[in-house]
Amino acid sequence: MASIITTGELTHVAIGDFHTEAGATLPNVTIAYQAWGNYTGDNLILVEHALTGDSNVAEWWADMLGPGKALDTNTYCIVCTNALGGCKGSTGPSSPDPTGTPWGSRFPALSVRDLVDVEKQFLSTLGITKVHAVLGGSMGGARALEWSLMHPTMLRGALVMAVSARASAWQIGIQTAQIDAIEQDPNWHGGDYYATEAPLRGLAAARRIAHLTYRGELEIDERFGTDPQQGENPLGTHRSSTQRFAVQSYLEHQGLKLTKRFDAGSYVTLTEALNRHDIGRGRGGLNKALGASTVPTMIAGVDTDILYPYHQQEHLSRNLGNLIAMAKISSPVGHDAFLTESRQVDRIIRRFLLLVNQEIEDDRLFLHHKEN
Amino acid sequence: MASIITTGELTHVAIGDFHTEAGATLPNVTIAYQAWGNYTGDNLILVEHALTGDSNVAEWWADMLGPGKALDTNTYCIVCTNALGGCKGSTGPSSPDPTGTPWGSRFPALSVRDLVDVEKQFLSTLGITKVHAVLGGSMGGARALEWSLMHPTMLRGALVMAVSARASAWQIGIQTAQIDAIEQDPNWHGGDYYATEAPLRGLAAARRIAHLTYRGELEIDERFGTDPQQGENPLGTHRSSTQRFAVQSYLEHQGLKLTKRFDAGSYVTLTEALNRHDIGRGRGGLNKALGASTVPTMIAGVDTDILYPYHQQEHLSRNLGNLIAMAKISSPVGHDAFLTESRQVDRIIRRFLLLVNQEIEDDRLFLHHKEN
Does B209 touch chain A if contact means CB atoms closer than 8 Å? yes
Would you tell me which residues 173-202 of chain B have a C-beta closer than 8 angstroms to some C-beta of chain A? 173-174, 176-177, 180-181, 183-186, 201-202
Distance between CA atoms of residues A180 and A178, nearest Å: 5
| H or E element at residue A314 | helix A310-319
| A288-302 confidence digits (pLDDT tens) | 999 999 999 999 999
pLDDT band per the 50, 70, 90 thresholds, residue B3: confident
Compute φ and ψ for B303, nearest 5 degrees.
-65, -30
Residues A158, A87: one domain?
yes
Q: Which of residues 255-294 of B touch A (CB under 8 A)?
A: 268-269, 272, 275-276, 278
Which of residues A236, A270, A304 is at a domain's end?
A270
For residues A31 and A88, is the Cβ–Cβ distance under 8 A?
no
pLDDT surpasses 90 at B57: yes
Residue B322 pLDDT exceeds 90: yes
Considering B242, B270, B298, which residue would you say is the last residue of a domain? B270
- B116 pLDDT band, cuts 50/70/90, is very high
Q: Are residues A93 and A205 in the same domain?
A: no
Which of B270, B289, B305 marks a domain boundary?
A: B270
- Enter the ipTM: 0.94
Q: Binning pLDDT at 50, 70 and 90, where does residue B371 land?
A: low
Domain that holds residue A112: 11-167+279-371
pLDDT, mean of residues B335-350: 98
pLDDT digits (tens, 9 = 90+) for A16-46: 999 999 999 999 999 999 999 999 999 999 9
Tell me if A22 and B172 make a contact (CB, 8 A cut-off): no
Residue whose C-alpha is closest to residue B142's, from B165, B123, B121: B165
**pLDDT of B129 above 60:** yes
Task: Indicate whether B1 belongs to any domain.
Answer: no
Tally of domains in chain B = 2
- A220 and B272 within 8 Å at the Cβ level: the answer is no
**Quick one: pLDDT at residue A189?**
98
Same domain, A221 and A264: yes
Give per-residue pLDDT as tens, A215-240: 999 999 999 999 999 999 999 999 99
Whether the pLDDT of residue A148 is over 70: the answer is: yes
Q: Are residues B97 and B201 in the same domain?
A: no
Q: Specify whether A54 is catalytic.
A: no
Among this protein's residues, is A335 annotated catalytic? yes
Same domain, A98 and A189: no
With CA atoms as reference, the chain A residue closest to B268 would be A239
CA distance A44 to A81: 13
Residue B64 has pLDDT above 90, yes or no: yes
Burial track A216-250 (b if 16+ CB lie within 10 A, e otherwise): bbbbbbeebbbebbeebebbeeebeeebbbbbbbb
* Predicted confidence (pLDDT) per residue in A257-309, tens digit: 999 999 999 999 999 999 999 999 999 999 999 999 999 999 999 999 999 99
- Amino acid identity at A45: I
Same domain for A159 and A23: yes
Residue B89 has pLDDT above 60, yes or no: yes
Rounded CA separation B284/B275 (Å):
19
Going edge to edge, which strands form the sheet with B77-81? B11-19, B25-36, B77-81, B44-48, B133-137, B158-161, B297-302, B323-329
Q: Residue B248 is nearest to which of A111, A172, A221, comparing CB atoms?
A: A172
The one catalytic residue among B49, B266, B305, B315: B305
CATH assignment at residue B255: 1.10.1740.110
* A172-186, B170-184, B334-348, B354-368: the lowest-pLDDT one: B354-368
pLDDT score recorded for residue B367: 76
Q: How far apart are CA A50 and CA A211, in angstroms?
A: 13
What CATH number is attached to the domain comprising A303? Answer: 3.40.50.1820
Give B215-266 pLDDT, tens digit per residue. 999 999 999 999 999 999 999 999 999 999 999 999 999 999 999 999 999 9
Q: Has B335 been annotated as catalytic?
A: yes
pTM, full prediction = 0.95
Q: Is A58 helix (H, G, I), strand (E, B) or coil?
A: helix
d(CA B98, CA B103): 9
